[in-house]
Structure 1
Amino acid sequence: MKRWLIENAILITMDPQRPVVNGWMAVEGTAIAAIGDGAAPEKEKRTAEETIDGRGHLFMPGLINTHGHAAMTLLRGLADDLNLQDWLQNHMWPMEAKFTGDDVYWGTSLAAAEMILSGTTTFVDMYDHMDRVAEVVRDSGLRASLTRGVIGLCPPDVQQAKLDNAVGFAKDWHGEADGRIQVMMSPHAPYTCPPDYIEKIVAAAHELGLPLHTHMSETEAEVEQNVRDYGVRPVEHLDRLGLFSRPALVAHAVHLTDEEIALLANRNVAVSHNPVSNLKLASGVARVPELLRAGVTVSLGTDGAASNNNLDLFEEIRMAALLHKGVSKVPTVVPAAEALRLGTSYGAKAIGLEGVTGMLKPGLKADFIAVSIEKAHFVPATDYVSHLVYAASGADVAHMWVDGRQLMRNRELLTLDVERIRREAQRCFERLRA
């Protein structure tokens, strides 16, 4: 295994024991081997097969996007400024019904390029044609938790075919790409899946030993519909159906009561907070400070590029820090360091990768990015965590490594042909629009 060394580095580790290190980091194979202050020891220099001068950069864990629909990059800008149900039913679903596996492949490739360029090393994806998504993850070098999103508004035989497809995908791809691909099971949402269908998906997750992921309580209308149809709000509904009997990640969770927050905490359910998408669709503002105080693991997601409209997780980090200050009128409610944890270490915990990635720490995977600080908005050198949250953007990311492999160098993608991807994605869109 290759051993290499980064010297003269400022490391924003996200490790509570040593949050900032001015020194060096050694990587061996796919993992971080050692981190130290000051100059690297002579032994580290002798054993390193390659040495990188880290001056002019901040090194930090790669960002983790815990909710999205990658191939929806093909629908970016197609139907803006609409509420969720109108947007979904009248614009997104009719277009998505035309998607082929080829469309999903190139839409996901476009998303992968955008994520690498903006610092995301791990992402969650819920969509269809997931074998093509997995191919992109395998070839791009990214890490991902993938799930075949299942909508149950269809006859029983179609429901069963979708569930069989999701199970088959899990069996084929869980643990593949040298372990970079993990799989979850996903009923799309309580308003798109009948209760007995959700129970079947939960049973499959138990049989396969996999986590579950779903949309939940994104809009007031969704909550009201759940009460009309089933007599209870979505959190209690999903709890009764057993969805929280497995490790679970719910997206959005905007409209929650105190009792629901307590139940999510009790069941160890993680929440993917999608602030930009929720604002764009006017869905509301999630109660993130209350969730955090209750002990719920809160992470960040962009949602799909059709409702965001970019995949820059730095924007979500900054929005999470600012939005909840404005709503609560308390400037300390989500401080910069906490916002950065939402996009890194908390993201890893939310998808079962705590102790695998999300921090710079010996023994963890070498999934990290280098952010250029030789720019006007990083001066003066006061508090680099503050600068990352309040001043930085994905455009500041210069280099990326996942599993110890470099995916981007000086903003040049090393595993993807971005020019071809742009052409093919545009071709796919033109066919869908025709």
Structure 2
Amino acid sequence: MTIHISEANIIAVDAAHGTRPFKGDILIEGSRIAHVGEPLVTPDGARRIDGRNRLVIPGLVNAHVHSWEAMFKGRYDNMPLEIWMLYSYPLVGTKALDPRLIYLRSMIVAMESLKNGVTCLVDDIIELPVQGMDAIDAVFDAYHDIGIRANVSGHVINRPFVDTIPFTREYLPRDLIADVSRIKVPTVKNYLDFAGEVVKKHQDRSDRLRYLVAPSGPQRCTEEMLKAVHDFAREIKSAYHIHVLETKVQAVAGREFYGRTLVQYLDDLGVLTNISTLAHSIWVTDRDIACMAERGSSVAHNPISNQKLGAGIAPFRKLLDAGVNVALGSDGISSNDTSRMLDVMQVAGLLHKVTTPEYGLWPTASEIIYAATMGGARSVQLQNEIGSIETGKRADLVLFDLETINFTPQNDLLNHLVYCENGSSVEKVFVNGEIVVDDGELTKVNEGALVRELRERYDAFSEHHKGVEELNRRFEPYFKKIHKHCCGENIELNRYSAPPNEWLLS
């Protein structure tokens, strides 16, 4: 299908214009952009869309989300990561979900994402108690049906739980250690065999969907796993997506387990490279940042989740100034409670204004928009396909109505987009040249029916999960002690990372 968008306001995020708005036409032929710029005569047979009083931007990229958490949206609050995970990623008592429920769970994330201008997801799925083929099939099926672009992970942990968090053996009673020690972890061969089967089954199914290699974190995987899956990522041209230094506890883990920061550990293993995307990267040192920049690595910055879990503030300005590619992510639908990237953009723009009184260093709307588009594309190795509006690239676009209250009165379009827009002005969304949101409504699935079906199934799920919560509540008193130990004054964290907002704390 050929689509002609005429006389639109365009933020292309390309080499020629950057994020500077300009007026022009866009021609879409099939899945790709055929023209951007000067006015065109609408080709015969093409659909013409009047772009006057409209804004077109590249589709937003959510560089880090966990769809697993959609079942816990709005369920938890006021817990740091290591305690929150006891309930949202429970240690014991879980059972495999019905694949249909996984399909619906994934749909909820995809529907909210598309309607808010997200055209590409990085879905890092931690399926408990173990990720099977039926489970990952359900996720791919959902994203295939709704029309979103997605990178779907096989998240892997292969170290025993008590060896992933410092001081667990000192604080946890023997009976609880015994409980979690019964959990089987995959071998490197198990994981690679499974990952290879998923790639064969789904990689050629659609040019929108890809398998993502995602070792959970350096402290959660063996050296052999970290190296082997990096090689596999190179082989299948995937990003290497990994959680790094999200919390103070993880900063302490680097020292206790390896005698160095987790970034330095990854670099010593040879897996901190230009395909590596480090989710969070809050408690990084200046040396870490310089190393990440030198290696060409990316950071997936999750400002809302990091605040809700009290994890800290990533050094956004230091990362950018060092040359690290920064993308934006919502993180999970429980640690954030939505997948709306426009919310993430606004918070990212605001949060870092309190980290320094030097207002010349505060984020600009242009930097935020870049991180949400090209920064995200680069983080998943798709910078040559998406992230900007350029001839030859995939037609992943968002069209906003500029006649809404959010853009009235109309001043700086960049500021309106970052600080005023909440998704209600999204009129059309294109993925691969296909209109998947039209007049604010999804075109490929029945949103109401899917929401009703999930609601009908939720009570039974929630009742079971209450029992799981009770089983895991036994661990909470001891995790509180670990959290306090790692965050207390007796831990010399400043040897590894000064708080990004240290001027407020001095």
Q: Which residue of 1 aligns with 2:257?
A: 229
1:245, CA displacement in angstroms?
Answer: 4.4
Normalising by structure 1, we get a TM-score of 0.93
Q: Which runs of 5+ in 1 are unaligned?
A: none
Distance 1:331 1:394, change over 3 A: farther
Distance 1:430 1:316, change over 3 A: same
What amino acid is the match of 1:7?
S
Say whether residues 1:397 and 2:396 are aligned partners. no
Say whether residues 1:32 and 2:29 are aligned partners. no
Farther-moved stretch of structure 1 (26-35 vs 155-164): 155-164
Distance 1:222 1:17, change over 3 A: same
Q: Which residue of 2 aligns with 1:295?
A: 323
Normalising by structure 2, we get a TM-score of 0.80
Q: Deviations over 1:377-397 (max 9, x none)?
A: 312222111110111112221
What amino acid is the match of 1:293?
D
Q: Which residue of 1 aligns with 2:114?
A: 116
Say whether residues 1:361 and 2:362 are aligned partners. no
Cα distance in 1 for partners of 2:95, 2:255 equals: 29
Q: Which runs of 5+ in 2 are unaligned?
A: 128-134, 161-182, 464-506
Cα distance in 1 for partners of 2:219, 2:96 equals: 22
Cα distance in 2 for partners of 1:96, 1:317 equals: 34
Say whether residues 1:105 and 2:103 are aligned partners. yes
Report the number of matched residues: 428
Q: Deviations over 1:89-110 (max 9, x none)?
A: 2443258654332222111011
What amino acid is the match of 1:23?
G
RMSD: 1.9
Cα distance in 1 for partners of 2:74, 2:192 equals: 31
Q: Which residue of 1 aligns with 2:193?
A: 164
1:141, CA displacement in angstroms?
Answer: 1.0
What amino acid is the match of 1:140?
I
**Matched ranges for 1:84-233 at <5 A:** 84-93=81-90, 97-127=95-125, 128=127, 129-152=135-158, 153=160, 154-155=183-184, 160-177=189-206, 179-233=207-261
Cα distance in 2 for partners of 1:225, 1:45 equals: 60
- Equivalent residue of 1:307, what SS? coil
Q: Deviations over 1:239-261 (max 9, x none)?
A: 22332246111110111000000
What amino acid is the match of 2:101?
D
Say whether residues 1:282 and 2:317 are aligned partners. no
**Matched ranges for 1:374-413 at <5 A:** 374-413=403-442
Q: Which residue of 1 aligns with 2:48?
A: 51
Q: Deviations over 1:151-191 (max 9, x none)?
A: 223546566434432332123222431x1112221111123
What amino acid is the match of 1:143?
R
Cα distance in 2 for partners of 1:337, 1:245 equals: 27
What amino acid is the match of 2:114?
I
Distance 1:376 1:90, change over 3 A: closer
Distance 1:203 1:318, change over 3 A: same
Cα distance in 2 for partners of 1:132, 1:91 equals: 20
Q: Which residue of 2 aligns with 1:13?
A: 12
Q: Percent identity?
A: 29
Cα distance in 2 for partners of 1:207, 1:32 equals: 28
Q: Which residue of 1 aligns with 2:447?
A: 418
Q: Is the 8 A contact 1:261 1:294 kept in 2?
A: yes
Cα distance in 2 for partners of 1:158, 1:423 equals: 40
Q: Deviations over 1:265-286 (max 9, x none)?
A: 1111110000000000000000
Q: Is the 8 A contact 1:276 1:319 kept in 2?
A: yes
